[in-house]
Structure 1
Amino acid sequence: MTGTLQMLVTIAVIALATFATRVLPFLCFSSREPPAILSTIEKNLPPMILLLLVIYCLKDVQWFTAPYGIPELFTIGVVAGLHFWKRNAMLSIFAGTGLYMALVQFNVFSFL
């Protein structure tokens, strides 16, 4: 296949797969209640994903060299506090990302 044709076929397959994954739940559960396990997954999946993101972000922290993970731990504390205060996930995520980037880019904890 040529480069353009291959790209168009790839886009079409991805679009079809995306459409199918969006329509499938409506087709399967339009006439009946979803199973209880699905409700459990729906309730618990977002916190589990966020926990995995935190673990992934902390995996490369150098705990025994300066700044000893202080920017990461400080940002986690601010995000947790902000989330418990405002209960807004988007605010917590964006504020945490902005704060962490500012701490790292401006080397705030360089005095350690």
Structure 2
Amino acid sequence: MPDNGYIALLVGVAAAITWLLRALPFAGLAPMRDSEVVKYLGIHMPLGVMVMLTIYTLRPGVTAGGIGVLWLALAVLITAGLHCWRGQALLSIVGGTAVYVVLMTWL
């Protein structure tokens, strides 16, 4: 079994590497704050991420087929409707999820 000094050295090296890896993005971000590319990505990236997450989330339900696709489409429409009506993400997510769960229990 390794001695305590060796274990302490390993923990220290792991902590230093972890700290450096977490600090590196912030150090690299400072010179890019005025970049046009970063500004463009800041505007358009959230929509792209949400589209990707939506596709990733809905894909298994759509490929399963059957009446579940109808329930899924209804839940998505209700979620979008709630969000357009009230503009609150939490209400939209909880409402759409609740509708989908209730509909799937009837399946």
Q: When the two structures are superposed, what TM-score results if normalisation uses the length of structure 2?
A: 0.64
Computed over aligned residues only, the root mean square deviation of the Cα atoms, in angstroms, reads 3.2
Q: When the two structures are superposed, what TM-score results if normalisation uses the length of structure 1?
A: 0.62
Q: How many pairs align? A: 99
How far does residue 3 in structure 1 lie from its aligned partner after superposition?
8.7
Q: After TM superposition, where is structure 1 displaced by more than 2 Å over at least 4 residues in a row? A: 1-6, 11-16, 85-104
The aligned counterpart of 1:37 is 37
Distance 1:101 1:76 in 2: 12
Distance 2:60 2:89 in 1: 24
> Quick one: structure 1 residues 20 and 76, their matched pair in 2 at CA, closer, same or farther if it must change by over 3 Å?
same
Q: State which of 21, 24, 31 in structure 1 corresponds to 2:28.
A: 24
Query: Higher helix share goes to which structure?
Result: 2
5+ residue gaps in structure 1? none
The aligned counterpart of 2:53 is 53
Larger Rg: 2
How far does residue 19 in structure 1 lie from its aligned partner after superposition?
2.4
Distance 2:24 2:90 in 1: 28
SS in 1 for 2:34: coil
Distance 2:100 2:7 in 1: 41
Distance 1:22 1:12 in 2: 16
Greater relative contact order (Cα < 8 A, sep 6+)? 1
Percent of residue pairs bearing the same amino acid type:
21
How far does residue 72 in structure 1 lie from its aligned partner after superposition?
1.8
